[in-house]
Amino acid sequence: MARAPVIRKGVPKGDKRQRTRRTLVAAAAEIIAEKGFDRTSIEAVCTRAGLSRGSFYGNFKSREDLFLAVMDSQWMPIEADFKLGAPLRTQMRLLGEAVAAQIKTRCANAAGAAAFQLYIVTHAHMRERMTERNAETYRMMAAGFQKIAPPGSLPMPADRFARVIDALITGLVFTCFQTPDLISDEDIIAAFEALAGGEPAASPWPMNRPLTRG
């Protein structure tokens, strides 16, 4: 889950540098959705944005830095309205509901997100950068789960739970992008509730029916 960019304190939202950065990010996002990352050049981004290469390098060190900014702008962390003190199953349902809602709003960015994933898996240096970013994200998630989960309720160590949750979210998001009609909101919610221990399965046998003859 990408982290949101941090705006420097004391810098007005209308600051020229920030406006230029947002213009470049928006232009890059459009081209990436059309052509993918590999075919998105700095020149094309500058032309689409109506800015110079100098403006680009005044805001980004490299094309990869721009790509990460695009994902940060379009792939914000999914946040749930957790309830302190609630059972883990309730917390997981709240997270599942948040994921289901966010998937709908992110469908417009599906092509760009898929292009970004392809770029990462085909470029080793980007995998290294994402590993560093995700490691920090997992540390933050683990700390958060330890705060909201009742003591002893997590089904595994918090750091592993964070990695599993992130992988589950990513898998559900892309599956819904591919086949949205096959995955319902309740399917998504059930996946998260299962991590807290699913409801007992209904017995296939009537309660008054003996399992053996005798």
Mean predicted confidence (pLDDT) in 8-33:
78
Q: Which residues contact 90 (CB under 8 A, 6 or more apart)?
A: 83
* Same domain (yes/no): 133, 178: yes
Is 176 part of any domain?
A: yes
Higher pLDDT: 7 or 72? It is: 72
pLDDT band at 213 (very low <50, low <70, confident <90, very high): very low
Please state, for a pLDDT cut of 70, what percent of the chain lies above it.
Answer: 86
pLDDT tens track for 169-208 = 999 999 999 999 999 999 999 999 999 985 544 444 444 4
Q: Are residues 50 and 148 in the same domain?
A: no
Q: Are residues 93 and 171 in the same domain?
A: yes
Overall domain count for the chain: 2
151 part of a folded domain: yes
Q: Kindly give, in sequence order, each residue whose CB lies less than 8 Å from that of residue 84, ignoring residues fewer than 6 positions away.
A: 147, 148
What global pTM score does this model have?
0.73
Whether 190 and 101 map to the same domain: the answer is yes
211 assigned to some structural domain:
no
Check whether residue 130 and residue 43 sit in a common domain.
Answer: no
Which tokens hold the place of 182?
Answer: 């096959």
Q: Which two tokens stand for residue 96?
A: 């599942």
Out of 120-134, 135-149, 190-204, least confident range: 190-204
Task: Indicate if 162 and 93 belong to the same structural domain.
Answer: yes
CB 119 within 8 A of CB 38: yes
Q: Which domain holds residue 131?
A: 88-194
In a domain, 169, yes or no: yes
Average pLDDT of the chain, as a whole number: 84
Residues 64, 109: one domain?
no
Same domain? For 92 and 67 the reply is no
**Residue 62 located in a structural domain:** yes
pLDDT of residue 116: 84
Do 85 and 150 touch, CB atoms closer than 8 A?
yes
d(CA 141, CA 157): 12
| C-alpha distance across the termini of the chain, in Å | 58
Residue 94 and residue 174 in one domain = yes
Structural contact between residues 172 and 191, judged by C-beta atoms closer than 8 angstroms: yes
Provide mean pLDDT across the span 129-154: 93
Query: 189 and 95 in one domain?
Result: yes
Q: What are the two backbone dihedrals, phi and then psi, of residue 183, each rounded to the nearest 5 degrees?
A: -115, 115
6-10, 61-65, 149-153, 162-166: least confidently modelled range:
6-10
Residue 182 confidence (pLDDT): 95
Asked if residue 3 is part of any domain, the answer here is no
**Do 59 and 130 belong to one domain?**
no
Instruction: Check whether 139 has a pLDDT greater than 80.
Output: yes
Query: C-alpha distances in angstroms, 63 versus 122, 204, 205?
Result: 15, 58, 61
CATH value at residue 55: 1.10.10.60
Give the pLDDT confidence score for residue 97 in this predicted structure: 97
Looking at the fold, whether 128 and 180 belong to one and the same domain comes out as yes
- 193: nearest Cα among 84, 87, 85, 96: 96
Over residues 30-60, the pLDDT tens digits come to 898 888 888 899 999 999 999 999 999 999 9
Query: Is residue 183 one of the residues assigned to a domain?
Result: yes
Whether 200 is covered by a domain: the verdict is: no
Q: CA 73, CA 50: separation in Å to the nearest integer?
A: 20
